[in-house]
Amino acid sequence: MTRCNRTRFSGLGATLLVLIISRPVSAHDPIFGLGPHVLYKGGVEVAPEVHLEKKGDEQETELGLELVYGITGDWAAGIELPYVWKEEGLESASGTGDVSLFTKYRFWRHDTLGAQESAAVLLKVKTDTGNENSTPALGTGTTDTILGLAYGYEGRKWYRWASLRYRRNGENDAGLKRGDKILFDLVGGIRPKLTGYLEPDTVWLLELNGEYGKRAQLNGAELPNTGGTEWFLSPGIFWTKRNFAIKAGVQIPIASDLHGNQEETDYRAKLVFEWHL
C-alpha cells in the first residue's frame, strides 16, 4: 500500500470512528417529569398509555392515546385522548376524560461528542370535554392551562433533566376553582450497557417529583381541606429498539404537607408504549 493510500485510509478510518462515537443519542424524556425532546420534522409519534393512581378509597385508571406531529425539527404539537375509570368508595364511573392539546418548542440545543444538551418550553391546554356530572366526576368542568420549562442532558451513559411547570386551573359553573399547581422535577438516568443503534437499549431512571397546590376556592372563599405539598421518588425504566420504546415507572410518596384533612396519595404508576413513524 502506498503512503498516499495509507494516509487516505487512515483519514477515512478516523472519520468513521468519529461518526460512530458521535452518532446522535436516542432521544429520551422522563416518565413523570417534563423533558425537552421533540420529534424530527414530519415525524409522527403514536403512544398508548396507562396511568394508575390510588388515594385512600379513591382509585383511578386512565387509558390514554397521545398523538404527536413534528412541525419542524424543534417544534412539535399533539393531542391526548383519555378514557377514565374511577372509583370512590362504593361509587364508580367510566367514560372519556378531558382532552388535552399541547405544543413544545426547543429553543436551545448544544451538541458535543456523544452528548446533547437542550431546553424547551411547553404549552398545554386541558379542555372541558369530560363528564363532570357523573359520580364520581370524569371531568373537571374547567379549561386549564399548563406552562412548562425543561432542560435535558443526554449522553452515551448518563442522563439528567430538570423541569418546572405551572398549572392554572379554571373555574367551573358552580363557582369552584381548584387551586393552581406548581410542579418541579429533577431526574437522573444511567445506561448500564452501551449498545449500538440496531440493538435494544435500556436506561434506568430515578425522578424526584414535587407538587405544590394552592387552596381551592368556592365563589371566592378558600376551602380549608385543599392544597398543600407532596413529594415523590419515582424509579423507572426506558427500553428502546430503533423507533419503538417502552417507558414504565411508579411514583412513591416520600413526604407531604397537605392542608387540613386530606387523603395522601398511596401511589401512582405509568406505562407508555411509543412508536415513531
Blockwise average pLDDT, block size 10, the chain, 277 residues = 44 38 57 96 97 96 98 98 96 96 98 95 97 93 98 96 98 96 98 88 97 97 97 97 95 97 96 96
SS3 198: coil
How far is Cα of residue 20 from the mean position of the Cα atoms in its chain? 30
Distance, CA of 238 to CA of 247 (rounded, Å): 5
For the chain, how many structural domains are there in total? 1
Burial classification of residue 159, based on how many CB atoms lie within 10 Å of its CB (0-12 exposed, 13-18 middle, 19 or more buried) = buried
With respect to residue 1, please indicate whether it lies within any of the assigned structural domains: no
Q: With respect to residue 215, please indicate whether it lies within any of the assigned structural domains.
A: yes
Helix (H) or strand (E) holding 186: strand 181-190
Please tell me the pTM assigned to this model.
Answer: 0.89
Q: Is residue 4 part of a domain?
A: no
Distance CA 3, CA 5 (A): 5
Q: What share of the chain is helix, strand, coil (3-state, %, to 5)?
A: 5, 60, 35
Q: Is residue 3 part of a domain?
A: no
Residue 13 lies in a domain: no
Domain contains 11: no
Q: Which DSSP state fits 128?
A: S
Residues counted in the chain: 277
Euclidean distance between CA atoms 82 and 215, whole angstroms? 26
Distance CA 200, CA 237 (A): 13
Distance CA 199, CA 19 (A): 17
Question: Has residue 217 been placed in a domain?
Answer: yes
Q: Is residue 124 part of a domain?
A: yes
Residue 246 lies in domain? 24-276
* CATH code (residue 236): 2.40.160.40
Contacts of 25 (CB under 8 A, 6+ apart): 114, 115, 116, 154, 155, 156
